[in-house]
Structure 1
């Protein structure tokens, strides 16, 4: 009986070969499982996502083996809901200044520390309110050259309906529009923040009747100017540049531009936080960020990203040294306590 048991347990050549074959088959499965890590990124979709996929997502996957899957569009409401419920549709997203202030204040985003991204990988001022600055766009004055050959160069000009007559448009977005109103009223850009809300709304009162449309989406702002429905508009440099590249009679100025910075943030509580921070470090590296910004006419926030870019490309970027010197960056920390108040007051003002 003992001999039978020993014989039954002794590995035969066939068993060894089968075992090795099974192990060989299992090893690729293990490698595939590791490579199948997934990170979910909330994006704006469209050209934004196309640029991010080419410059950031695909290279990150090639470098790390971590697959990027996207959820669009960017949604502050979803960020808040998933942190509350613990059910995560996405792990990482970008937020503008106003949304970053709200998210940090509401404890919706993971806190940054040097264990997540070493300070040596970033630049001075890269981290604000637990978000890592990535790229920026400018809220600028654009106008039709065929109607206004010497168009407005300041917000005071934009407010001057006698010198610059014609239908106007501004964005339905108080954090930006209030900055325009204060500069139009003579406030030094260096002293904009926090906002003097009473003064800002008094300034807005002076131009309210002249604003034909309060636009909300970029394509809408382009259509208004392209079709001549308005002749002056406060819009994004990225949207205006597309029409300029199409040889339309459109001009823009970076003078008194209001720079809104997009920051990468990690959703608080996501089980994939480690890889989310790993992605952010990759996404704001000089070369990656330069390629992404160049594709969409953004301005990189990493100063090292400008190295190697052609001068004509740099001249179109809102954060280039020559353009940034004429602009003002929205201050998330100083504006954060005002966001809720200004939003409610602006909504009431528009409907009154």
Structure 2
């Protein structure tokens, strides 16, 4: 059983993916006149950050007259370095949701919520030092060439039922990505009683399928496995499910007890552009730019009043759908902020044994 330790550790797979040295990422937004000062935005690069530019940064920069520079990838050690040295060069950063909870007031600034309407956000998705801009789910996905119709799995318990649903299972390869929660739900723990996580019980449940279990360490690995059909059941991110099916994968989502997570924006402690950073946070918190981002990337708006124009497949994987939200469980970011270091140590010991 994990006991709170007030430690924060980035999940191992994420550590491997992030570089300590920042480099230019994403296209520079158009339209900033420059007379309103500047802002440096750090995120994860590629099409994801390009979409953030189109949906959030470009229209805000044009409206505010601010010159925006992109940087990245997001690196927690880099943020620590900046703050410790008193040389904060990033102003706003995209992070996992429990980073600002664990480091509020130390590595990231408190946000002024007087100009932000949180009434349409799922409960628990914002904190004193962060706002959600998009949401996704860690969820069960099954191979429709293995299971179909009435014989398809529908619950977390089915994921662990090797007799009724034989085959290979694939789950994230680190503790903080949902496998522990999913194991407890499958073992009969009620969503309301999920936290604090009984990790001993979770590992005992995972042991029942250990010989049929493989791990993905990057989300692209999970997507490729769905497209290849190299597993029968996955615990994976909704966005990767959408991308895989869009590329022809024979898969289907299972929404019962999906684990809701989200992308967060925070202001880096010691920013020299606090006013612009706050202004950008307020803009990104709104429904309209979040709707546009959802149209460009396989994420749902965090603001549930947003109305993106989605095609049929996007809607199929839309975690903001009311029916999906009723079946969602919001990840307890405070528990993970307090316990991630010990949880990752336990996971490594179990997964490599």
TM range (shorter): 0.7 to 0.9
Q: 1:51-109 CA distances to partner (integer Å, 9 max, x unpaired)? A: 111111111111111122212222222122211122234211122233333333x8211
**1:88 and 2:85 matched:** no
Alpha-carbon distance between aligned partners in 2 of 1:123 and 1:138, rounded to the nearest angstrom: 18
Kindly state the Cα deviation for residue 110 of structure 1 after the two structures are TM-superposed.
Answer: 0.4
Could you say which residue in structure 2 is the equivalent of 1:58? 58
Q: 1:193-238 CA distances to partner (integer Å, 9 max, x unpaired)? A: 22122212222222222212x2121211111222222121111111
Kindly state the Cα deviation for residue 283 of structure 1 after the two structures are TM-superposed.
Answer: 0.8
Could you say which residue in structure 2 is the equivalent of 1:231? 232
Q: How do residues 4-83 of structure 1 correspond to structure 2 at under 5 angstroms?
A: 34-35=35-36, 37-83=37-83
Q: What secondary structure is seen at the aligned counterpart in 2 of 1:328?
A: strand
Kindly state the Cα deviation for residue 303 of structure 1 after the two structures are TM-superposed.
Answer: 2.3
Q: How many residues align?
A: 316
Alpha-carbon distance between aligned partners in 1 of 2:334 and 2:241, rounded to the nearest angstrom: 29
Choose the corresponding residue for 2:182, options 177, 180, 183. Answer: 180
Could you say which residue in structure 2 is the equivalent of 1:160? 161
Q: What secondary structure is seen at the aligned counterpart in 1 of 2:271?
A: coil
Could you say which residue in structure 2 is the equivalent of 1:6? none
Q: 1:124-155 CA distances to partner (integer Å, 9 max, x unpaired)? A: 75631421122111111112211222432222
More helix by share: 1
Cα root mean square deviation, aligned:
2.3
Kindly state the Cα deviation for residue 167 of structure 1 after the two structures are TM-superposed.
Answer: 1.4
Q: Could you state the TM-score of these two structures normalised by the residue count of structure 2? A: 0.82
Structure 1 residues 179, 69: closer, same or farther in 2, change over 3 A? same
Q: Could you state the TM-score of these two structures normalised by the residue count of structure 1? A: 0.83
Q: How do residues 1-352 of structure 1 correspond to structure 2 at under 5 angstroms?
A: 34-35=35-36, 37-104=37-104, 107-114=106-113, 117-120=114-117, 123=120, 125=123, 127-149=126-148, 150-175=151-176, 176-212=178-214, 214-306=215-307, 309=309, 312=312, 314=315, 316-352=317-353
Alpha-carbon distance between aligned partners in 1 of 2:128 and 2:343, rounded to the nearest angstrom: 19
Identify unmatched segments of 5+ residues in structure 2. Answer: 1-31
Alpha-carbon distance between aligned partners in 1 of 2:213 and 2:98, rounded to the nearest angstrom: 23
Alpha-carbon distance between aligned partners in 2 of 1:232 and 1:195, rounded to the nearest angstrom: 23
Bigger Rg, which one:
1
